Structure 1
Amino acid sequence: MENKQSTFPTNHVVGFFLSIAMTVLAAIIALRTNLSGNVIMWIIGTLAIFQAGVQLFMFMHINEGKDGKTNYINIIYSVFMALIIVFGSIWVLTTGHAAH
């Protein structure tokens, strides 16, 4: 007979409510404050990064598995590649390299 443990997914519920809270907070800051556009964008960007971290740990279980280092290395590499693509594209398009 299999021994099934039916536990309530507390991490998922906490992660869900944290994600909802950060989304609502970003909407309130964007719609209800008189801050400048740059400040609002920085706050929303910061909340988005925190929300991505919450989702990685709470939903995607990034710290579980045989070798936790592999997951972290893959994420760091993915972020590095995304930054190279985004900032490389901005650099090429703003410095006139596309005009040749």
Structure 2
Amino acid sequence: MSSESQVHSSAGASQSSHQSYNVGFLLAAILTLVPFGLAMYPSLPRQLTFLLVLLCAVVQIVVHMLFFLHLTTAREQRWSLVALVFTVVIIVLLVGLSLWIMYYVHANMLGL
């Protein structure tokens, strides 16, 4: 009897996993089509279009992390989340400091 309940519980987990993937795919497709439509049919000001595309990109990153990579704040995922935060900090530092250095080199070369 216990093996029968295990089969039903694993089938339920598989069903919810498929539903999670389907929801993630639908959200990812919508978040791809919206910026594509904004770029193909420009009807908004450029700054607003840029901000909407950037917002869709950030939301799509979150959708991919939640629905496909299954990154949550659960205890089992703690180290994966720490590694992700560390990676983001390193990338922000690398890009930010590189831009800062290039700005000051450019300013000093022109004598501004």
Q: Structures share a fold, TM > 0.5?
A: yes
Structure number, greater radius of gyration: 2
Q: Which has the higher helix share?
A: 2
TM class by shorter chain equals 0.7 to 0.9
- Alignment length, in residue pairs? 99
Structure possessing the higher relative contact order (Cα contacts under 8 Å, 6 or more residues apart): 1
- TM-score, normalised relative to structure 2: 0.73
Residue of structure 1 in register with 2:65 after alignment? 56
What percentage of residue pairs aligned between the two structures are identical? Answer: 17
With the length of structure 1 as denominator, give the TM-score of the two structures.
0.80
Residue in structure 1 matched with residue 98 of structure 2 by the alignment:
89
Q: Which moved more, 1:28-37 or 1:61-70?
A: 61-70
In 1, Cα distance between equivalents of 2:44 and 2:101: 32
Match of 1:36 among 14, 37, 45: 45
CA shift in 2, pair 1:35/1:15, >3 Å: same
The residue number in structure 2 matching 1:12 is 21
